[in-house]
């Protein structure tokens, strides 16, 4: 029986389940789970980064435009 408590040890399992679930997920889906996400090919990574940079530039331009509008209003 777990914890040396005889048959009462099995009654503690429901109380320990959140901890077991946390460590199970951390081990299989955490930093050691590189098998789940293989690295991207260079072309795909480059395209993804270029599209992300384009989106960020558009957002930055919208922020600058809004700042100019606020400066003119005040």
Please tell me whether residues 26 and 53 are part of one structural domain.
no
Separation CA 54–CA 46 (nearest Å): 12
Please tell me whether residues 7 and 33 are part of one structural domain.
yes
Please tell me whether residues 33 and 44 are part of one structural domain.
no
60 or 1: which leads in pLDDT: 60
Please tell me whether residues 74 and 50 are part of one structural domain.
yes
Please tell me whether residues 66 and 47 are part of one structural domain.
yes
- Structural domain for 74, as ranges: 40-74
Name the domain count of the chain: 2
Q: Is the pLDDT of residue 13 over 80?
A: no
User: What pLDDT, in 10s, does the model give residues 26-57?
Assistant: 666 666 666 666 788 999 999 999 999 999 99
Q: Is the pLDDT of residue 71 over 60?
A: yes
DSSP string, 6-21: GGGGGGGHHHHHHHHH
Please tell me whether residues 14 and 46 are part of one structural domain.
no
Separation CA 42–CA 51 (nearest Å): 14
pTM: 0.51
Yes or no: say if 31 and 24 are a contact pair by the CB < 8 Å rule. Answer: no
Please tell me whether residues 33 and 48 are part of one structural domain.
no
Mean pLDDT of the chain: 80
Which helix (H) or strand (E) is 5 found in, with range?
none
């Amino acid at each position: 029986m777990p914890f040396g408590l005889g048959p009462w040890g099995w009654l503690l399992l429901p109380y320990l389940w959140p901890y077991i679930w946390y460590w199970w997920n951390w081990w299989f889906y955490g930093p050691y789970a590189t098998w789940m996400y293989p690295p991207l090919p260079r072309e795909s990574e480059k395209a993804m980064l270029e599209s992300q940079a384009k989106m960020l530039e558009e957002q930055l331009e919208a922020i600058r435009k809004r700042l100019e509008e606020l400066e003119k209003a005040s």
